[in-house]
């Protein structure tokens, strides 16, 4: 089976064998989109519309959402063929005012590794010194800002409404474990935090976010995932690809030897204000994050193929960044601001130089991404 994918200005054709029929594939995809509810529905609409499959009979099949799929009616739908989805910085290390080693996401969430097994998540708008919206501590306990409490044992993922994925590594898959490390991804960015059970060490921002994320999901298809929803302090358990509902508690199960979560079966929901603004760079990152999560976890890909698909997403991300930075640069005349600098002072000149630097960095990133992708699929 071969499929063509178009994301903004980047197009690719790949051939792969997924081991299922067109009917089962269509049922899988349609069922998944139907179950998404309001989780990025408007964003994924454009992705689904641009996903074309050729099933070997020379009759391309376009997978479109079901009739009841939510439409972004208040906002004109972007023309994928005419412009790329926005892309931007995914993660920032050491945001001003926060403890050393903290990480800020594109959507404004802040992850703080406290050490001694403890780490916290602050929602957008939170300030240093505020009470965390979620705190994970001990073996590991989860304390929500609204008073909710529960526990987990196994290494698990925590997904934020802006698409950020936090992969938490624990010390044991049974008994009473503690958090040892975190891998955080958003867009093309990836940060590793080691020593959470002692003195945390936060890596510099690496630019393999899509690749690492796709491979991670392919290598851990049954990993428990907790999705932040509701008003920002409710966590929903996704197990084996199925939403189990909001987590309301946990108990230590003698049969499995680990904490088992108690859920209420409630459908996932999230306050739209916790998601990035429509059309922003963070929104573009979220769209790609959710898309790559779906592809990597639902199609049963091997880790190598999944990582290659991550490279494709990275290349498209870099393409969009490159043209965005060129647009910023084109607002000025001359390499140092030209007439704009004369009329409005030195700030215009500095902005122009910054735009030129960003454009060149994006072009270099694009070149590296496409070389890796080409090597994976064409040779």
Write out pLDDT tens, residues 100-140: 999 999 999 999 999 999 999 999 999 999 999 999 999 99
Are residue 98 and residue 238 in the same domain, yes or no? yes
236 has a pLDDT exceeding 60: yes
Residue 73 CB neighbour total at 10 angstroms: 8
Owning domain of residue 360: 313-378
Tens of pLDDT, residues 139-190: 999 999 999 999 999 999 999 999 999 999 999 999 889 999 999 999 999 9
Confidence of residue 220 (pLDDT cuts 50, 70, 90): very high
Q: Are residues 96 and 27 in the same domain?
A: no
98 plus 31 within the same structural domain: no
Residue 301 falls inside a structural domain? no
Last-in-domain residue among 24, 53, 84: 84
What is the C-alpha to C-alpha distance for residues 45 and 6, in angstroms, rounded to an integer?
A: 13
Q: Please give the pLDDT value at position 179.
A: 97
Residue 294 located in a structural domain = no
Does 22 share its domain with 97?
A: no
Does any domain span residue 307?
A: no
Position 298 scores a pLDDT of 78
Per-residue pLDDT at 6 exceeds 50: no
Mean pLDDT of the chain: 75
Residue 35 lies in a domain: yes
Do residues 170 and 186 lie in contact, with contact meaning Cβ atoms separated by under 8 Å? no
What DSSP letter does each residue of 99-145 carry, written as one string?
PTT-EEETTS-EEEEEETTEEEEE-TT--TTSPPSEEEETTTEEEET
| Co-location of 62 and 109 in the same domain | no
Residue 79 sits at φ, ψ, to 5 deg, of -95, 105
Residue 26 or residue 243, greater confidence: 243
Assigned domain for 292 exists: no
Which is more confidently placed, 127 or 55? 127
User: 229 and 119 in one domain?
Assistant: yes
Has residue 234 got a pLDDT over 80? yes
- Of the pLDDT bands very low, low, confident and very high (cuts 50, 70, 90), residue 297 is confident
Contact predicate 16/24, CB 8 Å: no
Distance, CA of 123 to CA of 134 (rounded, Å):
9
Residue 245 and residue 97 share a domain: yes
Tens of pLDDT, residue by residue over 30-46, are 333 333 334 343 344 34
Share of the chain above pLDDT 70, in %: 63
Q: Using 50, 70 and 90 to split pLDDT, how confident is the model at 48? A: very low
Q: What is the pLDDT of residue 7?
A: 39
Which of 80-89, 112-121, 261-270 comes out lowest in average pLDDT? 80-89
Mean pLDDT across 287-303: 88
pLDDT band for position 365 (50/70/90)? low
Same-domain status, 27 and 135:
no
Number of domains the chain contains: 3
Q: How far apart are CA 366 and CA 360, in angstroms?
A: 10
Q: Specify whether 19 is located in the same domain as 144.
A: no
Greater model confidence, 309 or 371:
309
Collect all residues with Cβ–Cβ distance below 8 Å to 227 and sequence separation of at least 6. 39, 158, 159, 235, 236, 238, 268
Whether residues 214 and 110 share a domain: the answer is yes
Same domain as 96, residue 235? yes
For β-strands 225-229 and 156-159, DSSP reports them as: parallel
Domain boundary among 55, 84, 113: 84
| CB atoms closer than 10 angstroms to residue 299 | 18
Query: Which residue, of 46, 63, 84, is where some domain finishes?
Result: 84
pLDDT higher than threshold 80 for residue 291: yes
Q: Write out the two tokens for 171.
A: 């010390």
Helix, strand, coil shares, percent, the chain, to 5:
30, 25, 40
Answer whether residue 293 is part of any domain. Answer: no
Residues 130, 122 contacting (CB under 8 angstroms): yes
β 110-115/189-194 pair status: unpaired
User: Could you tell me if 258 and 141 lie in one domain?
Assistant: yes
What does the pLDDT average to over 250-277? 95
């Amino acid at each position: 089976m071969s499929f063509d994918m178009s994301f903004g200005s980047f197009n690719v054709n790949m051939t792969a064998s997924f081991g299922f029929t067109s009917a089962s594939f269509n049922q899988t995809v349609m069922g998944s989109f139907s179950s998404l509810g309001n989780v990025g529905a408007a964003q994924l609409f454009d992705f689904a519309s641009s996903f074309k499959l050729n099933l070997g009979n020379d009759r391309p099949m376009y997978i479109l959402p079901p009739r009841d799929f939510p439409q972004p009616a208040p906002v004109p739908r972007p023309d994928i063929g005419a412009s790329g989805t926005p892309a931007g910085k995914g993660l920032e290390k050491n945001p001003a005012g926060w403890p050393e080693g903290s990480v800020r996401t594109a959507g404004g969430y802040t992850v703080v590794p406290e050490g001694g097994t403890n780490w916290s998540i602050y929602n957008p708008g939170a300030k240093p010194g505020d009470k965390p919206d979620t705190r994970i501590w001990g073996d590991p306990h989860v304390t929500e800002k609204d008073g909710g409490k529960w526990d987990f044992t196994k290494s698990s993922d925590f997904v934020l409404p802006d698409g950020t994925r936090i992969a938490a590594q624990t010390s044991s898959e049974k008994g009473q474990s503690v958090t040892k490390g975190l891998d955080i991804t958003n867009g093309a960015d990836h940060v590793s935090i080691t020593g959470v059970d002692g003195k945390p060490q936060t890596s510099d921002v690496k630019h393999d976010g899509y690749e690492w994320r796709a491979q991670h999901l392919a290598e851990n298809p049954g990993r428990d995932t907790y999705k932040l929803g509701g008003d920002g302090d409710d966590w929903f358990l996704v197990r084996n690809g199925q939403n189990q509902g909001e987590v309301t508690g946990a108990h230590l199960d003698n049969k499995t030897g680990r904490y088992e979560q108690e859920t209420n079966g409630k459908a996932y929901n999230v306050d739209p204000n916790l998601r990035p603004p429509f059309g922003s760079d963070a929104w573009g990152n979220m769209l790609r994050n959710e898309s790559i999560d779906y592809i990597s976890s639902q199609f049963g890909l091997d880790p190598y193929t999944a990582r290659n698909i991550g490279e494709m997403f990275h290349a498209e991300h870099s393409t969009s960044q490159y043209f965005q930075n060129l647009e910023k640069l084109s607002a000025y005349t001359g390499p140092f601001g030209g007439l704009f600098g004369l009329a409005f002072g030195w700030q215009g000149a500095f902005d122009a130089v910054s735009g030129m630097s960003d454009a060149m960095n994006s072009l270099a990133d694009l070149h590296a991404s496409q070389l890796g992708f080409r090597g994976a699929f064409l040779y």
